[in-house]
Amino acid sequence: MCFSGDAGTVESDTTKDDLKEKIMSNHLPVHRKLARSTRDKWIGGVAGGLAETYGWDPTLLRIAFVASLLLPIPGSQILIYLIAWAVIPQRNDGF
């Protein structure tokens, strides 16, 4: 930190861009490659894998999935989940 001479204000060595970058870095995905989670899974690890890949909350994904079952065409979500379970590989790096 440094003090400016005339107004007596404190200026930080970090700029607003540096702070924004630090804040945004906390929201980066943990894993960049989409894979089903082996650590955070209830059924097949699809919601946990999406959450780990994109930095989302897995609980919110699960709530959204269950809420989507109330839409006019229930059942298609289950088919999509089963396809995702079959297509998305399981994470094998211990996460």
pLDDT in tens, 51-77: 888 889 999 999 998 888 888 876 788
Average pLDDT of the chain is 75
Residue in 59, 64, 27 with CA at minimum distance from that of residue 40 = 59
pTM over 0.75: no
- Residue 21's pLDDT is 62
Residues composing the chain:
95
Segment 39-52 shows an average pLDDT of 88
- Residue 38's pLDDT is 84
| Residue 45 backbone class (left: φ over 0; alpha: ψ -120 to 50; beta: rest) | left
How deeply is 52 buried, as exposed, middle or buried, from its count of CB atoms within 10 A (0-12, 13-18, 19+)?
Answer: buried
- Residue 60's pLDDT is 93
In this structure, what token pair is assigned to residue 58?
């897995």
Tell whether the model's pLDDT for residue 28 goes beyond 60: no
